[in-house]
Structure 1
Amino acid sequence: MTVRYNTILVAVDGSDESKRALRKAMVLAKDHGAKLLLAHIIETLTTAAPGPGSQAVFPEVDEKAINMLKEYKELAEKEGVTDVKEILDYGSPKVKIAKDVAKKYHVNLIVTGAAGLNAVEKFLIGSVSQHITRHAACDVLVVRSETEDK
């Protein structure tokens, strides 16, 4: 039985690990003829502007995320992926990716780096990739960093 993925979601945060996951996701999307979704979730707890009850994100955080997604989309298209969509959302990355985004876009494979930018969160409450692996309803590919490969 051959497994074919139709919609592949790659979680990106600008880290080296997420860039590595992006490269693997691009290869898989080309091999499977799949749609590639580039998802970046802005963690509102750490990026919200100060103020009582504020959920507003600093404008530079939005701008950086938009530019990163645009750059990754251009890279994927240059590498031959024909169907690429950018997704920018707000909230908890681990919850949004595993539950909301994957369900909304009928994802059947999530690709994520083994570790991302937020070492403090990983130490305190576990990594995004660990949460996605435990809670996603679809297959999950966790891409290891180069040092973990050795």
Structure 2
Amino acid sequence: MGMNYKNILVAVDGSTEAEWALKKAIEIAKRDDAQITLAHIIDTRTFSTVEAYDSTIVERGNMFARELMEKYKSEVMAAGVSKVEYVIDYGSPKMIIPKDLAKKQEVDLIICGATGMNAVERFLIGSVSENIVRHASCDVLVVRTSKDDK
């Protein structure tokens, strides 16, 4: 029994694990001739306290997100996947990815890294990947190793 995916959502945050997830997504998209949608969620919950001290934080977050997504999009296209787009959204990645974006983009697979950039939040209230698995209505692949690991 082989799984065939047509619309893959890849959650990326700039972490090493997100890079691994992207490589797995490229492999699957090439195998299945699937669309890749890259998703980066700017976690606005942390802005309220930081913004009082640094009013440019939102602007820098947006710039980082755009540069990151353009880099990832170029990487996907260079690997031979022509159907690629990206989404930058704001809020809690734990809910936006599985509940909003996955439905809006009509994805049949979400791929994410096992851990990301926010270790403190993961320790206190659980990981983004854990919440994606819990709340997604489609298949989820949580990547723990690099593409080259056996």
Q: Decide: shared fold, TM above 0.5.
A: yes
User: In the TM superposition, what is the alpha-carbon distance from 1:47 to its structure 2 partner?
Assistant: 3.3
User: In the TM superposition, what is the alpha-carbon distance from 1:128 to its structure 2 partner?
Assistant: 0.3
* Aligned pairs for 1:44-59 within 5 A: 44-48=44-48, 50=51, 58-59=58-59
Cα distance in 2, alignment partners of residues 7 and 13 from structure 1: 20
Gaps of 5+ in 2: none
The number of equivalent residue pairs is 144
1:23 paired with 2:23, answer yes
Alignment match, 1:95:
95
Cα distance in 2, alignment partners of residues 57 and 104 from structure 1: 28
Cα distance in 2, alignment partners of residues 97 and 68 from structure 1: 17
Alignment match, 1:134:
134
Alignment match, 2:115:
115
Letter of the 1:120 counterpart:
V
Q: Is the 8 A contact 1:44 1:57 kept in 2?
A: no
User: In the TM superposition, what is the alpha-carbon distance from 1:58 to its structure 2 partner?
Assistant: 1.6
Letter of the 2:33 counterpart:
G
Alignment match, 1:33:
33
Instruction: Please identify, of 11-20 and 40-49, the stretch whose mean Cα deviation from structure 2 is larger.
Output: 40-49
Letter of the 2:60 counterpart:
E
Letter of the 1:92 counterpart:
S
The Cα RMSD (Å) is 1.7
Query: Percent identity among equivalent residues?
Result: 51
Q: Is the 8 A contact 1:99 1:135 kept in 2?
A: yes
Q: Is the 8 A contact 1:35 1:83 kept in 2?
A: yes
Counterpart of 1:39 in 2: which secondary structure? strand
Gaps of 5+ in 1: none
User: In the TM superposition, what is the alpha-carbon distance from 1:57 to its structure 2 partner?
Assistant: 5.7
User: In the TM superposition, what is the alpha-carbon distance from 1:26 to its structure 2 partner?
Assistant: 0.8
Alignment match, 1:78:
78
